[in-house]
Amino acid sequence: MDDSSVSDWNAELRRRREKERALGDVRGRHYTEWVQDITQLLRRRDGDAALALLLECAIATSTETVAGAVIPAPWYTERAAIIYHRRKNYIAEAALLREYLAGAPGVRAPMRERLHKAEALISAAANADVPPTCPKCGSVLENWPDPRSECPACGSELVKRQVSGFPKVFTGYDDERRPAATLYRRQRRAMLKRLGPANVTEEMWDAKETVLEDGNVGDVYWSLATEAVERASKDNNWVREYSTLFDMAKFRVESGLDWLEYASAAENVYRENLLSHYSDNTLLYLYGCGCATCRANQGTVTVGEYLNEQPTPHPDCETPPCFCSLRQPQSFLP
């Protein structure tokens, strides 16, 4: 590349950077430069000033995203939503979150959960002044019932609870099922978090839940994880394939089932990628996990020796699933 080409390339690079900076400009500075200022405003409890800056920065991230086809930075939207929530301005909170999620479909599960909560609070507030009705027969109750009472019309047991800060009437049967429903939501949220690196979305979970019908949280997780492994293998994304398989091995341990098959499959994916870069005589380090059994087997080994012995994962690992594997020596040896 001659000097003129280098000069042209540098000029083009500067032009692109200036354009990107202009797209993300907030009050003469790029929005990323306002984080410390916003943090200080929040610490001083100057919510109005912080909210104004956060909203401007959120708009700037969206503008930059449209131009660069990247996911908008979530921090500004999240902090602004928290301020709205603390002020009980749930309508503004929900509108802000919807706008962000419209530009970032399939990501940021915590923000979707926050949106669901805001929408539930909006719905509860809208129904706060509506006369209560019996959930069983639909008859209108003259007054809010006692914590436990009976419907005057059908005689069903009624239970009054506070939901999102507002009273709500349940039948006795539905009230008994509420803890199970709450537990299910928590388990679902935890499983979605585990499947996040595999790009599994809430929509995918809901669709799978519908297909399985009577399937529990574990069934839905397992089906989605299996599909994620297949997609990763098809896309030659060995990192995603490895991490999902290993998480499936963890799930098997948590469920009291045999984990070795899936840990071995994960290690095979890792091994194939790693060993494709080395010859049989290359010296690598077999790194052991925390238990005494695995640490007793760690040490240097050639690629050829490792392929012949296939020592990992260790079936008798004391802290399954075993994650012993080969690493480059310089990563672990002094």
Three-state DSSP string of 169-212: EEEHHHHHHHHHHHHHHHHHHHHHHHHHHHCCCHHHHHHHHHHH
Rounded CA-CA distance 38/196 in Å is 29
pLDDT of 46 strictly over 90: yes
Rounded CA-CA distance 110/91 in Å is 18
- Residues of the chain with pLDDT > 70, as a percent, come to 86
What mean pLDDT is predicted for residues 261-274?
86
Contact between 309 and 242 (Cβ < 8 Å): no
Q: Residue 35: CB partners within 8 Å, gap ≥ 6?
A: 75
Rounded CA-CA distance 188/205 in Å is 9
Q: What are phi and psi of 162, to 5 degrees?
A: -95, 120
Which residues face 262 on adjacent strands? none
Residue 69 backbone class (left: φ over 0; alpha: ψ -120 to 50; beta: rest): left
Q: Residue 316: CB partners within 8 Å, gap ≥ 6?
A: 293
Average pLDDT of every residue of the chain? 82
Q: Which of 113, 246, 244, 245 is nearest to 189 (CA)?
A: 113
What mean pLDDT is predicted for residues 260-274?
87
> How many angstroms from the chain centroid is the CA of residue 54?
23
> pLDDT: is 288 or 184 the higher one?
184
Structure confidence at residue 73 as a pLDDT band (50, 70, 90): confident
pLDDT of 288 strictly over 80: no
Which amino acid, 230? Answer: E
pLDDT single digits (tens) 290-306 = 788 888 877 888 888 87
Q: Residue 285: CB partners within 8 Å, gap ≥ 6?
A: 298, 299, 300, 301, 326, 327, 328, 329, 331, 332, 333
Q: What local confidence, expressed as pLDDT, does residue 66 receive?
A: 54
Distance set, CA 158 to CA 91, 143, 207, 220 (Å): 31, 13, 33, 33
DSSP 110-168: HHHHHHHHHHHHHHHHHTTTSPPB-TTT-PBPSSPPPSEEE-TTT--EEEEEEETTEEE
The 3-state DSSP class for residue 88 equals coil
Q: Which of 205, 210, 206 is nearest to 194 (CA)?
A: 205
Least confident of 99-108, 241-250, 251-260: 99-108
Rounded CA-CA distance 74/56 in Å is 13
The 3-state DSSP class for residue 256 equals coil
Residue 164 backbone class (left: φ over 0; alpha: ψ -120 to 50; beta: rest): left
pLDDT of 130 strictly over 80: no
Other CB atoms within 10 A of residue 277 CB: 9
Other CB atoms within 10 A of residue 2 CB: 7
Contact between 59 and 83 (Cβ < 8 Å): no
How are beta strands 148-150 and 29-30 bridged, if at all? Answer: unpaired
What mean pLDDT is predicted for residues 62-90?
81
Enter the pTM of the model.
0.60
pLDDT single digits (tens) 115-129 = 888 888 888 777 767
Please give the DSSP secondary-structure letter assigned to residue 33: G
pLDDT single digits (tens) 203-237 = 899 899 888 877 789 999 999 999 999 999 999 99
